[in-house]
Amino acid sequence: MNTKTNIPETSSQVAMAALPDSQEPLCDTMGNSHAAVLPTASSERDQTVAAVENSSSPQPTILARIAQTVPTLLVIGVLVGLGFFGHHYGWKIPKFSELTGSGVVAPTDWCKEHGVPESVCVECDPYLMPAGPDYGWCEVHGVHNCPLEHPDVAQLKETPAIETADLERAARALALMPRPENDPACKVYKDRIQFASIESVRQAGVDVELVERRPISEWVEGNGEIIYDQTRLAELSARVPGTVTRVFKNIGDSVREGDVLAVVDAMEVGRVKSDFVKALVAENLASQTVSRFQGLATGVVAGRQIIAAEAALAEAQAGVLSSEQALANLGLPIDAARLRGLTKKEVWNRLRFLGLPHELANQYFSQNSTANLLPVRSPIEGVVIDRQAVAGEVVDSRRALFRVADPSRMWLTLNIPLEDAHHLSLGQTVRFTPDGSTSELAGQLTWISTAADRQTRMVQVRANLSNPDRQLRDETFGTGRIILREEPDAIVVPTEAIHWEGCCHIVFVRDKNYFTTPESPKVFHVRSVRVGATQDGFSEIIAGVLPDEVVATQGSDVLRSQLLKNNLGEGCACVAE
Ligand SMILES: [Zn+2]
Ligand SMILES: [Zn+2]
Ligand SMILES: [Zn+2]
């Protein structure tokens, strides 16, 4: 009989002693519980009061005072009893063994060590529940009795089949990054934790869950932003100083490659054009001289003169090339070969509005405009994202007039902590959630910086995001994940099922015959497990349990405590608090 019932019983015995025989049945129905004390106390008070009334004592007031004091004494007695009870348990909730071993069991049939009746203790009587096969340590997966190689260790009625996919998934998980290790020498996996009954499992507050399959993923996370694809971004300026005469495009306007956004009047343009015409005329003259000499009979002209004429032609040709190049530098390419043979006026007409679209050239022609006009063209297809040009303004080549971007594809740049960077490789999937948004964008990793930021110790990475409906905006901030591994069918348990016993991660697997008969031992097996990714309260088990096995979850600390207790004094150095 334990202390829990002894103390209150003492109080009630005191009370019972004062009762007449007729009151005894009341006490019997109350039993030994605390609840019996107070009614008994009031019965005693009635008794005492009755005694006072029957008595012929000359001092009834003294007796009445005693009668008032008795309940107080009893209450004090109960408090002392409670104090003794509390002190006995160190003011803590009673431990596993007290809970699992219900008070009804006689002390003679009680295994103190394992907290169950001696007659059913599977640890003390090896015949009650013979230990299963022991395959020892698995080098590949780092667990004892590996169910991936020996599925018969699973606490399932039928031995499950291990699919190749399960072995491959475990290999992927182990290859990706170092996982917490278990101690090959540890013997804790052989332990079994037994309860006296299903009721005592319930009293101990131990819950169970099925091992199941769930999608799980591992990633590297970083903050970042969406910006325009910097290879599809153009900054447009006038190549030479001048005055803006007309502006055709504004912010938000779509432009095609080659579209004229503005026209600048630049004297340099007129000068280069007239240089070109002069060079072409000089080349023509030199060419005619050489031809004339070549047509004459030998000896009429001195060889010296022919050489001089040929040198002059070569020089004139170089002059044409040079001014052709000068026009190209202004963004006004022209093919001199196609202008040879034209008159000076014809050449000038070709050059006057060089680079302007036909329609625009006609407008300027009718206005009798100068030949100084320089179009500012977009080199890419996209949208005008910035416009600084204003008609009448004096500009030069350092001043950007427009910015044009192609928003159909955006860059996502992320900053990844240096210590995570070694997990990254090109082609990995990147998911990005803009701040204040719930939708997720996806792209592929296309660039990883070879340097880390000096101050922040971050490594910059980039992914391309396609943006067909143009919903993504430049300079959108948010959080991105680079997916290292995505497993749709990972084997998982609730994270609270997993414990660290000092050298191994373990779970408690319910015995497969737990419910077979009421007498079946209520046993949980200790299983070492290799823990992978953890997500949303579930942890991946790379190896150690199989789907449909049952593990202790909430309240499984009770099992861990009992495991530590079982291993105390057995010299198992690995088990620690
Ligand atoms: Zn035992
Ligand atoms: Zn294995
Ligand atoms: Zn261990």
pLDDT in tens, 25-57: 333 333 343 433 333 444 444 444 444 444 444
Q: Kindly tell me if the per-residue pLDDT of 17 is higher than 50.
A: no
- Domains of the chain, each with CATH number or no CATH: 3-92 (no CATH), 118-218+486-567 (2.40.420.20), 236-401 (no CATH)
pLDDT confidence bin for 376, thresholds 50/70/90: very high
Please tell me the predicted confidence (pLDDT) of residue 43. 44
**What is the whole-number distance in angstroms between the Cα of residue 507 and the centre of ligand 2?**
16
**What is the whole-number distance in angstroms between the Cα of residue 569 and the centre of ligand 1?**
15
Interval 202-234: pLDDT, tens: 999 999 999 999 999 999 999 999 999 999 999
Please tell me the predicted confidence (pLDDT) of residue 14. 36
Alpha-carbon distance 183 to 104, whole Å? 40
Q: Kindly tell me if the per-residue pLDDT of 8 is higher than 50.
A: no
| Tokens representing residue 27 in the block | 């006490």
Alpha-carbon distance 433 to 423, whole Å? 21
**What is the whole-number distance in angstroms between the Cα of residue 543 and the centre of ligand 3?**
15
Output Rg (C-alpha) for the chain, integer angstroms. 48
The pLDDT of 260-286, averaged and rounded, is 93
Please tell me the predicted confidence (pLDDT) of residue 113. 84
Tokens 């209150």, residue?
8
Tell me the C-alpha to C-alpha distance, in Å, between residue 531 and each of 306, 464, 568: 93, 34, 26
Please tell me the predicted confidence (pLDDT) of residue 123. 86
**What is the whole-number distance in angstroms between the Cα of residue 485 and the centre of ligand 3?**
28
Whether residue 144 contacts residue 182, with contact meaning beta carbons closer than 8 Å, is answered with yes
Interval 395-430: pLDDT, tens: 998 989 999 999 999 999 999 999 999 999 999 999
Alpha-carbon distance 47 to 20, whole Å? 8
**What is the whole-number distance in angstroms between the Cα of residue 508 and the centre of ligand 3?**
13
Q: Kindly tell me if the per-residue pLDDT of 9 is higher than 60.
A: no
Q: Please state, as a whole number, how many other Cβ atoms lie within 10 Å of the Cβ of residue 545.
A: 23
Average pLDDT of the chain? 83
Please tell me the predicted confidence (pLDDT) of residue 468. 87
Pick left, alpha or beta for residue 537 (phi over 0 → left; psi -120 to 50 → alpha; otherwise beta): left
| In the chain, % of residues over pLDDT 70 | 79
Q: Please state, as a whole number, how many other Cβ atoms lie within 10 Å of the Cβ of residue 185.
A: 11
pLDDT confidence bin for 301, thresholds 50/70/90: low
Please tell me the predicted confidence (pLDDT) of residue 519. 87
- Ligand in nearest proximity to the CA of 188: 3
Instruction: State phi, psi for 160 to the nearest 5 degrees.
Output: -80, 160
- Ligand in nearest proximity to the CA of 499: 3
pLDDT confidence bin for 1, thresholds 50/70/90: very low
539 strand-pairing partners: 493, 534
355 strand-pairing partners: none
